[in-house]
Amino acid sequence: MSLIRTADRHKLTADNRPAGCRAHSAGRFRLRADGTSRFDRHHHDFDEFWFVATGSGTILLGDTELDVQPGDIIYTPAGTDHDVRAVTGPDDLHVFWLSWTLPDRASGQHLHRDPADAAGHLVASRRPA
């Protein structure tokens, strides 16, 4: 299959990857602006890209907080912790992700330095100033 309906929560995985496609995974996540969404601080043993489609918010990339808005692309190198701290504004935050071919012996998973991070946390809702 070469059509992935992210609106239906489908994502690109090893099970539906088209022949010849070198991407490991791709898809979309949505964090609600009402403060009810959860996210887990994590890292990967592979590189990942995020594309902010709609909404705005604050993410943590390593030790740096970044305010993101529609059209932004975030590159997360392997081993770099990342997290979504807040959704800002009235619109939900919609982010598409893409990870390319996995390095040898990579797990392809979310990895947590602190096991408590695996449970995730509520993502704050902030209104623009």
pLDDT tens string 24-45 = 999 999 999 999 999 999 999 9
Residue 13's contacts (CB-CB under 8 Å, 6 or more residues apart) are: 25
6-126 belongs to CATH 2.60.120.10: yes
Considering the chain, what percentage of its residues have pLDDT values greater than 90?
A: 81
pTM of the model: 0.90
Instruction: Name the burial class of residue 96, with classes exposed (0-12), middle (13-18) and buried (19+) by CB atoms within 10 angstroms of its CB.
Output: middle
pLDDT exceeds 80 at position 50: yes
> Given this model, what pLDDT does residue 127 score?
83
Would you give the DSSP letter of residue 9?
T
The residue-averaged pLDDT of 60-85 equals 98
Q: What does the domain layout of the chain look like in residue ranges?
A: 6-126
